[in-house]
Structure 1
Amino acid sequence: MCTGKCSRCIAISLYPLAVISIICNIVLFFPDGDVKYAKDGHITEEVKYMGGLVGGGIMVLLPAFYIHLSGSQGCCGNRCGMFLSIAFAAVGVLGALYSFIVSVLGLHNGPLCKIGVFWETPFKTMEQNYLTDDKWWKLCTEPENIVQFNIGLFATLLATSSLQIILCAIQMINGLFGCLCGTCIDKGPL
């Protein structure tokens, strides 16, 4: 496969991953489908870092547009364009890495939830692993099913950011080959 076609495939794969990251991060602001938790500030701290929106979303989506252009014929589909795609892919790696780290922290610390009358993050200091032992989940009385909600969305962000890191790293290697060897785009009949 030539470097231009590889760039287009990578970019097309990055688009849905970025959209999924953005959607997951937005949904995390509304536990139990209610805006009252966001209004009252009862949102898990890692959600406020916006790893999926900024890191896995915007910081991956913008490079994906350029990477797509670098695989097309035209001003970006040349050696210089492929060289610049390395820098854009590096931005994508950094954004996806940010999303990955925030997701890991979100899973490790657990959700902010109501226990009795207080709002706290009960799993943050717990020695037992709440991810594998669901008997601890009933500690959180409000929002309903907040533990499953956070685990599902942060795990999705973790998976998408992992794929984004891999794809952007592949594009960095692909961009290097495209810079050194050219994009092998068919110029048509002369």
Structure 2
Amino acid sequence: MCTGKCARFVGLSLIPLSLICIVANALLLVPNGEITWTKDHLSLQVWLMAGFIGGGLMMLRSVFCSAFGMLGAIYCLSVSGAGLRIGPLCLMHGSWDYHFQHTAGSYLLNRTQWSSCAQPPRVVYWNVTLFSLLVAASCLEILLCGVQLVNASIGVFCGDCRKKEGAPH
């Protein structure tokens, strides 16, 4: 595949992934689809907007500069991975805290613990699902941006293999 066709394929693949990241981050702002928790009870990882900034806006920008896309995807992966490991900010036993942060992520395998968070309702399920989606999408974005960087480098040194108009055959 020529570098020009590869660039088009990678660019077109990154657009839906960036939109998925933006939507997932927007949903993280409204746990269980309710806005009552937004003001004071969202985790730091939600407020860092990794899906909007890293997986979304910087990825859309990667059509012009794959290095920025790569950095954005790494940011999204880092923050989303931390969000999964630490767990959500929730009300448990009368206090708001990151109650799963000392489990080193083991709470992810023990769904019986998830219902311990009284408020927001189903916040653990909500965060695990959406942060997992962000991790998966950002990993694909890192791969595609890596391919795009290699492809662009090959294109710079070897040309893009498209025939020039008006050139003799």
User: Structure 1 length normalisation: TM-score?
Assistant: 0.84
The alignment partner of 1:103 has SS state of helix
1:62 aligns with 2:61: yes
- 1:108-127 superposed Cα distances (whole Å, 9 cap, x missing partner): 00011111322111100236
* Aligned twin of 2:162: 185
Q: Is the 8 A contact 2:85 2:104 kept in 1?
A: no
Amino acid at match of 1:50: M
| Aligned with residue 144 of structure 1, among 121, 141, 148 | 121
Superposed, which structure 2 residues align to 1:1-190 within 5 Å? 1-39=1-39, 41-64=40-63, 66=64, 88-126=65-103, 129-188=106-165, 190=167
Please, which moves more after superposition, 106-115 or 121-130? 121-130
What is the root-mean-square deviation of aligned Cα atoms in Å?
Answer: 1.3
Greater mean deviation of Cα atoms: 109-118 or 50-59 = 109-118
Q: In 2, Cα distance between the equivalents of 1:55 and 1:147?
A: 23
Aligned length: 167
- The Cα of 1:167 is off from its aligned counterpart by 0.3
Asked if the contact 2:24–2:133 (Cα under 8 Å) also holds between the matched residues in 1, the reply is yes
Q: What is the deviation of 1:183? A: 1.0
Q: Secondary structure at the match of 2:163?
A: coil
Deviations 1:129-152 (A, max 9, x none): 100111211210111111110000
Q: Distance in 2 between matches of 1:157 and 1:185?
A: 36
Measure, in 2, the Cα distance between the counterparts of 1:50 and 1:126. 24
Q: Which SS does the other structure have where 1:185 is aligned?
A: coil
Describe the shift of the 1:179–1:127 C-alpha distance in structure 2 as closer, same or farther (beyond 3 A): closer
- What residue is the counterpart of 1:84 in the other structure? none
> Kindly, what percent of the aligned residue pairs are identical?
40
Mind listing any 5+ residue stretches in structure 1 that lack a counterpart? Answer: 67-87
Counterpart Cα distance in 1 of 2:163 and 2:28 = 45
The verdict on how the C-alpha distance between 1:128 and 1:6 changes in structure 2, with shifts beyond 3 A counting, is closer
Aligned equivalent of 1:80: none
Contact 2:86 2:105 in 1 (8 A): no
Supply the AA of the counterpart residue of 2:16.
Answer: P
Amino acid at match of 1:113: C
- 8 Å CA contact 2:84–2:105 kept in 1: the answer is no
Alpha-carbon distance, 1:189 to partner: 5.2
- CA gap of 1:128–1:57, structure 2 versus 1, over 3 A, is closer
Is the 2:86–2:104 contact (alpha carbons within 8 Å) kept by the matching residues of 1? no
**How does the TM-score come out when normalised to structure 2?**
0.94
